[in-house]
Amino acid sequence: MSVLREPLRLSTASGTGAIFDHGSHVVSWRPAGQSEVLWMSGTSTFDSGTAIRGGIPICFPWFGSGRDSTLIPAHGFARLTSWTLVDVVERDGAVTATHSLLDTRLTQNAFPHRFMAVHTARFGEHLDVHLSVENLGDSEFSYEAALHTYLRVGDSRQISVHGLDGVDYIDKVDGASLKTQEGDLTVAAETDRIYRTGSGVDVIDPVLGRTVHVRMSHSADTVVWNPWITRATALADFDDDGWQSMVCIEGANVLENAISLAPGEIHSMGYQLSVGALA
Ligand code: TA6
């Protein structure tokens, strides 16, 4: 295990961002004129053996402990692996960092398939993230994936998440029971839900006086997580009071929405953040 070097810090007139090769993990995005949009834990470890707590972890090729709840490490190996920086390109006022990850003998132990994953993060007026996976082998495989975004908010108890009304969700803090959202989502207890939609949400934040627009492409699920008091305290790398200033809004393809890829096929999922006035 070794300590991670500094992230790649990127800056244009439209904003700044930062990304580690470890996990191809975005840890900062600050559009011009705004405060930081992503939440980072003050107690996150930055070493090669653990996942960074905050920013945008990439969960791949499974989510949590996988579809049969047996897999380790949690959320797959992608966030624990150093990706290869392919290039950094500045264009039209934004800068894009591209990383790739190929299967290795080590990944094949856990996930016996040949693949190439490519992650692009475009830092500009918007933050645009894409994760594509190509099947390089000669038989079909399936995988789960999530862009597990930690959003920084003024006070999680005062936000409302708009865009999920009428959507079915799996409530992981209530025995994975299936429920239907009524109205906007507010956070008033531990929240860990898989909403069966990828149509995007708006996070209305009266304390920071802004709305964060979350848009997704080719994601069938939206995961919403806030650990609340007890879980936050139990997690060593999570600030005890960190639950007050974050909410995870994740674009995902999990459980029966896992992606199947035939040989040579590619699937690409996208996630975009932009900041607007308080709705
Ligand atoms: O996305 C929500 C979730 O799967 C929760 O169940 C919670 O455990 C969280 O991710 C964090 O997982 P981690 O492995 O990073 O501690």
**What is the rounded average pLDDT for all residues in the chain?**
97
Cα(46)–Cα(25) distance, integer angstroms: 11
Mutate to test the pocket of ligand 1, among 75, 231, 249 (most ligand atoms within 8 A of CB): 75
Ligand 1 first shell, C-beta below 6 A: 51, 64, 74-75, 148, 172, 192, 223, 225, 248, 250
CA of 64 to the centre of ligand 1 (A): 7
pLDDT surpassing 80 at residue 121: yes
**Active-site residue, 250 included:** yes
Measured in degrees and rounded to the nearest 5, phi and psi for residue 243 equal -60, -20
C-alpha–C-alpha distance, residues 160 and 107, integer Å: 39
Check if 148 is active-site.
Answer: yes
What is the tens place of the pLDDT at every residue in 232-269? 999 999 999 999 999 999 999 999 999 999 999 999 99
**Given 250, 256, 265, 267, which residue is catalytic?**
250
When pLDDT is averaged across residues 48-54 and rounded to a whole number, the result is 96
In tens, the pLDDT along 156-191 reads 999 999 999 999 999 999 999 999 999 999 999 999
How confident is the model at residue 279, as a pLDDT?
A: 81
- Asked if residue 143 has pLDDT above 80, the reply is yes
Distance of alpha carbon 265 from the chain centroid: 23
> 159: how many CB neighbours lie within 10 A of its CB?
24
Query: Does the pLDDT value for residue 15 go beyond 90?
Result: yes
208 CA to centre of ligand 1 in angstroms: 25
pLDDT digits (tens, 9 = 90+) for 187-229: 999 999 999 999 999 999 999 999 999 999 999 999 999 999 9
Count of helices and strands (H, E) across the chain: 2, 21
Of all atoms in ligand 1, which is nearest to the CA of residue 74? 14
58-104: pLDDT as tens digits: 999 999 999 999 999 999 999 999 999 999 999 999 999 999 999 99
pLDDT of residue 85: 98
Looking at residue 1, its pLDDT comes to 77
Could you give the CA distance from residue 199 to residue 9 in angstroms, rounded to a whole number?
A: 31
Q: Which of these is catalytic: 75, 99, 148, 213?
A: 148
d(CA 167, CA 181): 5
Helix, strand, or coil (residue 173): coil
pTM for this predicted structure: 0.98
Question: How high is the pLDDT of residue 5?
Answer: 85
